[in-house]
Amino acid sequence: MTTVEKVPAELLVDFDVYDAALAHPVDTMQEKIAELAAKGPIVYSTAHGGHWIVTHYQEIYDILTDAETFSSYPNNLVTPADFGRFIPLELDPPDHTSYRHALQPLFSPQRMKKLADDIRVQVNELIDAFAPKGEAEFVSAFAHELPARVFLSLMDWPLSDAPMFTEVTDTILFGKPGGTKEESDQAMMMAAMTVAGYFNNVIAERRANPGEDATSALIHTEVELSDGTRLLNDEELFRMFFLLLMGGLHTVQGSLAWMIAHLSKNPEQRAALIADPELTPKAVEEILRIEAAVIPGRRATRDVEIGGVRIAKDDQLILTLCSANRDAEQFTDPGVLDINRSPNRHLSFGAGVHRCLGSHLGRIELKIALEELHRRIPDYALVDRDPPVFHSTQVRGCARMPITFTPEK
C-alpha cells in the first residue's frame, strides 16, 4: 500500500506550494496554509509525487531539531537544475558539521562588523539613484540589487558583477518569463552554466594566487571529512558558493519587500520606528516572523509518528515556517504586526543543526536598510493602481513593488 492510500481522507489536500496562483493577492498563500493548519499539524498533498505538509510550530520545531530522523536531503520538492547536493544545506552530520565549520569564518563577528560598514555604503548608493525621483520600482532598484552586492562583499568579489548575479539567479529560480517549460529549462541551464563558469574562474585564480580575502581562506583551509582531512575540491566549493548566493539573495529580497508592504499598512508603527530607530532590531524580527520566506524540505530516515500521523521511511515533507510563525499557541495575535513583540521566537531562520548560517548577516542587511530608508524616504507608500507582484515557491518573495515617496532634495 502506498503512502497516499494510508492517509486518512480528512488529511488529503489539494495544495501545491509552486502554484503561481498562491501569490495573488498577497495574502493568498498565508490564507491557504492557515486552512491546512486548521485540519491538523500535518496534512498530505499528492503534488510532486506526494509529500507531507507540516504547519504547526511545535511539530516543525521538533522536525528541524531531529536531524537523525529527518534528513535535509532533498531540501526541495523541485530542483531547478542539476547542481547535486547544496553544501552544507543538504548534508547531514557529521559531514554537514565539518563543512559548516569551514564556512564559519565568513560569518565571524569581525567580518560582520566590517561588512556592516560596507552595507551602509551600498544601501545609500542604491537610494541615491532613486531618492530624488519620488518613485521607484523597489525590487529592481533596491531589494534585488542589495543582497547581490552583499554576497559579493562577503566573498570579496568585484561589486561590478552584481547585475550579472541578480539576472542569473532570477533565471535559475523562475526560468524564462512567459516561456514554455522547455524554454525555461534551457534558460535555467544556460544561467547555471554562467554561474559555474564564474565560480570556476574564481576558484582557479585564487587557488593559484591566494590573497587575504575570504574566498582564498576558504579554498586553502583543510577540512576534516569522512574521507580524511583535506582541502575542499572545486565541486564542493561550487556547491557552497551557489548555496551562499541563492540562500542570501531571494530571502533578503522578499523580507525587504515585506518590510515596505507591512509598514506601509501600519503607519503608526512606522512613525514609532522613525521617531525611535532603536526599535529597528525588534521591527526586523517581527517582519521576519510575520512573513517567513523559506519553506524547507525534509525526508524521513525511518518510520516515525509525529503530530498524530504515521510518516513512512523516505516520505518527503515540507515545513511551512510562515504558518509556524503564525501559530496562535505560540504567538499572541499572530496575524498582527507588532514591532514591540517580545519574546519573538520565530522559526524564519530554522532551528537545529541546519539553522541558517547567514542569519546574523541577514539581520544586519535588514536593519541597515530600514534605518537608511526611514532616514531618507520615510513616507514611502505602495501604488494602489500598480500593486506588488509576489511569487510562491519554496522561497517566497516579491518580484515587483512600485512605491512613491516625497522626493529627496
Give the pLDDT of residue 48: 93
Query: Is there a domain that residue 409 lies in?
Result: no
CATH number of the domain enclosing 114: 1.10.630.10
Mean pLDDT taken over the chain = 93
What's the predicted TM-score (pTM) here?
Answer: 0.94
Q: What is the pLDDT of residues 370-408, one digit of tens each?
A: 999 999 999 999 999 999 999 888 989 999 999 999 999
Contact criterion met (CB below 8 Å) for 405 and 135: yes
For the chain, how big is the Rg over CA atoms in Å? 21
- Retrieve residue 102's grid coordinates: 569551514
**Alpha-carbon distance 227 to 236, whole Å?**
14
Contacts of 113 (CB under 8 A, 6+ apart): none
Identify the helix (H) or strand (E) that includes residue 62.
helix 57-64
Q: List Cα–Cα distances, 54 to 78, 90, 226, 297, in angstroms.
A: 18, 19, 32, 10
Domain of residue 22, residue span: 3-404
**Alpha-carbon distance 186 to 188, whole Å?**
5
- Retrieve residue 348's grid coordinates: 524564519
The total domain count for the chain is 1
Q: What is the pLDDT of residues 235-254, one digit of tens each?
A: 999 999 988 988 888 899 99
Point out the least confidently predicted range of 44-53, 177-186, 188-197, 215-224: 177-186
